[in-house]
Structure 1
Amino acid sequence: MAERDDPETIGRRVQRLRTERGLTQKQLAEPAYTPAYISTVEAGRVRASEPALRHIAERLGIAYEELLTGRPAHLATGLRLRLTDAQRTLATGDAEAAAEQYAALLAEAEEHGLVGEQAAALLGLGECALERGDLTTGRRHFERSEECLRDAPLTSRVPALRGRAVSHYLAGELRYACYLLETTLDELNRSGLHDPDALLLLYASAIGPYMDMGAHARAAQAAEFALALAPQVGDPALVARMHRSVARTLIAEGRIAEADASLAKAAEMYRQLQIRTELSNCHWMRGYLYVQNGELERAEGELREALAMLSEQRAALYSSQVAVELADVLHRRGKSQEAAGLLRGVLGDIGPERGAVHSAGAHRLLGIIAEDARDTEAAEEHYVRALSLLERAGAAGDLADLCRLLGDLLRRTGRVEAALDAYRTGLGHRTAPGTTTLGPAPAQPPL
């Protein structure tokens, strides 16, 4: 039995369509039914049979399904095709145009009560908001998408849950992002919902926050699970995203060649799929890899390419984060003035509620540059601001690095006890290659 509205709703629809077409009840009824029967159908006093409704639909010149539901024939199919077009627009990096497409699709899906299409449009709007760096709006869209699917299986809600976790991660709320991903994984595994796509998406998304928190064993395990699931996943874009995430655990384990190969594989997939946003992220991660391996010239080239692509796509938050990492490379290559200018230009786009870890990285770099210029007061101010941001986010690897820098500065200015406190704080956080936002892991503090 096809989905259908209640008799009163169908009756009102029949009466409206009949009137619009200038038909009498007798004309609509003949030759198989009576005007009296049409009158009872329009009044909603009878649940019309399928043959009767098919007769009425034919006389009115509309599809049987449209008469039952009020939705134009093939509406859902058309909306899904247009959702794919919007997704393609977003993939090319034009988040604003994609958001307009998704908003129009959402309005249409809401008008016709198409819940699945509403959820998909809201998911797309959330992804567009993340691209633009509007984390609060993105989170709100993801929450609404989840709400649309509250009666659907958990696997259907995973993309929206993952989007919400990413919005918290980008805001510097690492622990809560991990909590969301872990509880969803636990529920999927406990209930036996072994959906490879959903599991791969969650495990790959957990790697970044785990690494920033210093939970290297968990990140490595998530990467191992993701790699094992990949052969069962049919979506090449999802597999490519997984390879990009796994590369970070390989860097931390010193497996540079494998990490580079993983990123090259992901980049090739994105080129074939013409997904520019993710391709720019591959350039970003390769730049990070080359920094960790001491290849600063190659790192600068990759990060400049990523920054150009993201700026062209008007991805404000991501381009600001790449700019911070590029500034680190420029400083290491003796271009401190250019680095400082780049950092001052992006600090307004990132902060405690938006890209907290990279905001701390910017203050850390400005502190180092100030120290080089013998401005210890400004350097200390930047280090303290960075420390506050990192403690709030719980970014362990970056905290260890910063505590060493702050401790060294305090020791040089004669504040030995304060320096010891900073060193002790840093020693409470493990740091290793590939676990800090910027550059290679620092040496242990000289206690």
Structure 2
Amino acid sequence: MDPADIGRRVLRLRTERGLTQRQVAEPAYTAAYVSTLESGKVRPSEAALRHLAGRLGVDYGELLTGRPARLATDLRLRLTDARRALATGAPEDAAALFRTLHEEAVAHGLTEEQATALQGLGDCLLESGELTDARDCFAAVEGLLADQPLPRRVPAIRGRATAHLLTGELRYSCYLLESTLDELNAAGLHDPDALLLLYTASIAPYMDMGAHARAAHAAELALALAPSVSDPALVAHMHRGVARTLIAEGRTAEADTSLAKAQELYRHLHIRTELAHCHWMRGYVSAQDGDLERAESELRTARDMLASKRAALFTGQVEVELADVLRRRGKAEEAEALLRPLLTSGEATGALGAERGAVHAGGAHRLLGLIAEERGDTEGAEEHYCAALSLLERSSAAGDVADLCRLLGDLLRRTGRVEAAMDAYRTGLGHRAAPGTTTLGPAPATPPM
């Protein structure tokens, strides 16, 4: 409470209302006291401030802080509206709302509201594929909340880990999530919401790295925590994550059931992007089961929903998986037409690359290699396989690297380059060796349930 700031506010409000110092002061105080206060030479008591606020016709809190009455409440309501806009509309439209609200929160010194606005903006940027800016937003949230308990910062940490995952930095994504879990458990901060968010978020990078056992353990812990969590969006996200581990174990019927639960929750919450992700994963489940017709239908639905929201990065990732199904259904030309635009330069087109959707960019090159090989273009196939290998090795996607090395080795062997083929097979075997134990550090401690 700076006396000079309060004095300036009293002077401004009094002048705006055309009141004299005596009119503001009486009957409890003198004009001389008000003059001294306006000059910033005296620190007013709470009683004096309440008296002056009443005479000036403003709220006590507004006179004390300079913030209009109900400002924080109004900002929080508008932040909720912006979050709803992100759930149902395009991320860039919601981003404009969050930016405006952030500016207002900064102008009035509202730290919590600044953090909430930046968290929402970061989520918008994740959807639209602006991953570097998204990371910066989440890091800024962590800075704003540095003096808050760790569970309060967990959504921002999870957002930053997700941005690194989408960039292709799987190992660093795991590090962020695991180190936060260890810190929570070491401090005895067994917050169910925070733990569920972190364990669920860790499943995707574990799976992409080939650490299936660790992913399954994270899924078990998430399932155990779910009954203690009241947020349906967190529970729905948990069901989506668990489904990935069930798919890897061949339990596709259970995976589909888990996705159906998530889908129902997202439908009830009107969260279109997450609902699209459920269609996406159900398409993947159907593809694993060999039901390619249903897989194509689900993936097309997911792609159309994401495209309507202008979620460019996710749309491109779905198109890679749709192209795989199309190729398997004998529609190689349609698959190729879907893939090639994704590998052009420029983020505005939804393109994928080393810094943006690296795992799916590798998958796109792998599919183009298969299509080229099927039509007898061994040179083109080798070029795409090598491009895919470079992307996937950089992102530590162990299982995908091993599969790609097998494809490349087979191609080299068929063209008579046996030594080169052996090198490719050895590289693949090296990536398949105990994934999740040699490639990652010790697993996070298990919290008391």
TM-score by length of 2: 0.94
| Number of residue pairs the alignment of both structures matches | 428
Distance 1:376 1:254 in 2: 33
Note the C-alpha offset of 1:428.
2.4
Q: Please tell me whether residue 181 in structure 1 is matched to residue 174 in structure 2.
A: no
Q: What secondary structure, in the 3-state scheme, does the structure 1 residue paired with 2:183 have?
A: helix
Could you tell me which residue of structure 2 aligns to residue 136 of structure 1?
132
Could you tell me which residue of structure 1 aligns to residue 416 of structure 2?
414
Could you tell me which residue of structure 2 aligns to residue 360 of structure 1?
362
Could you tell me which residue of structure 1 aligns to residue 392 of structure 2?
390
Distance 2:74 2:230 in 1: 23
Could you tell me which residue of structure 2 aligns to residue 271 of structure 1?
267
Distance 1:430 1:7 in 2: 67
Q: Please tell me whether residue 246 in structure 1 is matched to residue 242 in structure 2.
A: yes
Q: Please tell me whether residue 112 in structure 1 is matched to residue 108 in structure 2.
A: yes
Residues 28, 56 of structure 1: 8 Å contact kept: yes
Matches within 5 A, 1:32-47: 32-47=28-43
Could you tell me which residue of structure 2 aligns to residue 95 of structure 1?
91
After superposition, what is the alpha-carbon deviation per residue over 1:228-266, rounded to whole angstroms, capped at 9, x for unaligned?
111111110111011001100011111111111000000
Residues 311, 319 of structure 1: 8 Å contact kept: yes
Amino acid corresponding to residue 370 of structure 1 in structure 2: A
Could you tell me which residue of structure 2 aligns to residue 427 of structure 1?
429
Q: Please tell me whether residue 337 in structure 1 is matched to residue 305 in structure 2.
A: no
Amino acid corresponding to residue 265 of structure 2 in structure 1: M
Could you tell me which residue of structure 1 aligns to residue 442 of structure 2?
none
Distance 2:294 2:116 in 1: 39
Q: Please tell me whether residue 320 in structure 1 is matched to residue 308 in structure 2.
A: no
Note the C-alpha offset of 1:431.
9.8
After superposition, what is the alpha-carbon deviation per residue over 1:173-226, rounded to whole angstroms, capped at 9, x for unaligned?
000000000111110111011111111111100000000001111101110111
Could you tell me which residue of structure 1 aligns to residue 348 of structure 2?
none
Q: What secondary structure, in the 3-state scheme, does the structure 1 residue paired with 2:432 have?
A: coil
After superposition, what is the alpha-carbon deviation per residue over 1:142-161, rounded to whole angstroms, capped at 9, x for unaligned?
11111111111111111111
Superposed structure 1 runs of 4+ greater than 6 Å apart:
none
Distance 1:383 1:286 in 2: 28
Q: Please tell me whether residue 23 in structure 1 is matched to residue 23 in structure 2.
A: no
Matches within 5 A, 1:214-229: 214-229=210-225
Could you tell me which residue of structure 2 aligns to residue 8 of structure 1?
4
Note the C-alpha offset of 1:294.
1.4
Amino acid corresponding to residue 370 of structure 2 in structure 1: I
Distance 2:220 2:73 in 1: 37
Amino acid corresponding to residue 203 of structure 1 in structure 2: Y
Note the C-alpha offset of 1:93.
3.4
Distance 2:259 2:399 in 1: 23
Q: What secondary structure, in the 3-state scheme, does the structure 1 residue paired with 2:165 have?
A: helix
Amino acid corresponding to residue 372 of structure 1 in structure 2: E
Q: Please tell me whether residue 305 in structure 1 is matched to residue 307 in structure 2.
A: no
Distance 1:13 1:54 in 2: 14
Distance 1:55 1:253 in 2: 70
Could you tell me which residue of structure 1 aligns to residue 382 of structure 2?
380
Note the C-alpha offset of 1:292.
1.4
Distance 2:79 2:185 in 1: 30
TM-score by length of 1: 0.94
Amino acid corresponding to residue 27 of structure 1 in structure 2: Q
Residues 214, 429 of structure 1: 8 Å contact kept: no
Distance 1:55 1:173 in 2: 59
Q: What secondary structure, in the 3-state scheme, does the structure 2 residue paired with 1:152 have?
A: coil
After superposition, what is the alpha-carbon deviation per residue over 1:74-128, rounded to whole angstroms, capped at 9, x for unaligned?
1111111111100000001321111111011001100010000000000111111
Distance 1:190 1:75 in 2: 38
Q: What secondary structure, in the 3-state scheme, does the structure 2 residue paired with 1:331 have?
A: helix
Could you tell me which residue of structure 1 aligns to residue 208 of structure 2?
212
Residues 397, 431 of structure 1: 8 Å contact kept: no
Distance 1:20 1:369 in 2: 75
Amino acid corresponding to residue 420 of structure 1 in structure 2: M
Could you tell me which residue of structure 2 aligns to residue 440 of structure 1?
none
After superposition, what is the alpha-carbon deviation per residue over 1:269-326, rounded to whole angstroms, capped at 9, x for unaligned?
0011110000000001111111112111111111000000001111110000000000
Residues 214, 431 of structure 1: 8 Å contact kept: no
Distance 1:54 1:407 in 2: 81
Distance 2:341 2:289 in 1: 28
Q: Percent identity?
A: 71
After superposition, what is the alpha-carbon deviation per residue over 1:361-380, rounded to whole angstroms, capped at 9, x for unaligned?
00000000000111100000
Matches within 5 A, 1:78-89: 78-89=74-85
Could you tell me which residue of structure 2 aligns to residue 442 of structure 1?
none
Note the C-alpha offset of 1:32.
1.4
Q: What secondary structure, in the 3-state scheme, does the structure 1 residue paired with 2:230 have?
A: coil
Q: What secondary structure, in the 3-state scheme, does the structure 2 residue paired with 1:422 have?
A: helix
Check 1:41–1:111 CA distance in 2 against 1; reply closer, same or farther (3 A cut). same
Residues 396, 431 of structure 1: 8 Å contact kept: no
Q: What secondary structure, in the 3-state scheme, does the structure 2 residue paired with 1:45 have?
A: coil
| Structure 1 unaligned blocks of 5 or more | 433-447
After superposition, what is the alpha-carbon deviation per residue over 1:35-73, rounded to whole angstroms, capped at 9, x for unaligned?
011112112222211111111001111000100111111
Amino acid corresponding to residue 263 of structure 2 in structure 1: A
| Structure 2 unaligned blocks of 5 or more | 345-350, 435-449
Residues 102, 121 of structure 1: 8 Å contact kept: yes
Distance 1:202 1:212 in 2: 16
Distance 2:47 2:69 in 1: 18
After superposition, what is the alpha-carbon deviation per residue over 1:330-356, rounded to whole angstroms, capped at 9, x for unaligned?
000000000000001222310000000
